[in-house]
């Protein structure tokens, strides 16, 4: 099931279903640079960002979750 419905090229609006995303939160007081398959992403200290659930399968993210530096939640 695709995350976005197919639209004509001139249409920018997307259908966004919050149930298909997770919240990734940096629980530390330092910025974290994530090396994701799509490129580098900086997750600033104490900030959160919505991402697709497959983020939990990235080895670096798994390690950060294991030591408590990053939290992943459905909410």
Closest CA to 31 of 62, 65, 69: 69
Do 60 and 33 form a contact (C-beta atoms < 8 A)? no
- For residues 50, 51, 55, 56, the Cα torsion angle rounded to the nearest 10 degrees is 40
pTM of this structure: 0.73
Listed by start position, the domains of the chain span: 18-73
At the second CATH level, the architecture of 18-73 is: 3-Layer(aba) Sandwich (3.40)
Do 47 and 54 form a contact (C-beta atoms < 8 A)? no
The predicted pLDDT at position 20 comes to 84
The predicted pLDDT at position 1 comes to 54
| pLDDT by position in tens, the chain (length 75) | 566 566 555 554 556 676 789 999 999 999 999 999 989 999 999 999 999 899 999 999 999 999 999 999 987
The predicted pLDDT at position 9 comes to 59
């Amino acid at each position: 099931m695709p995350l976005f419905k197919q639209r004509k090229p001139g249409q920018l609006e997307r259908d966004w279903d919050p149930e298909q995303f997770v919240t990734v939160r940096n629980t530390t007081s330092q910025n974290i640079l994530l090396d994701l398959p799509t490129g580098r992403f900086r997750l600033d200290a104490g900030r959160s960002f919505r991402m697709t659930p497959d983020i939990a399968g990235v080895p670096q993210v798994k390690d950060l979750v294991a030591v408590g530096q990053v939290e992943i939640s459905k909410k």
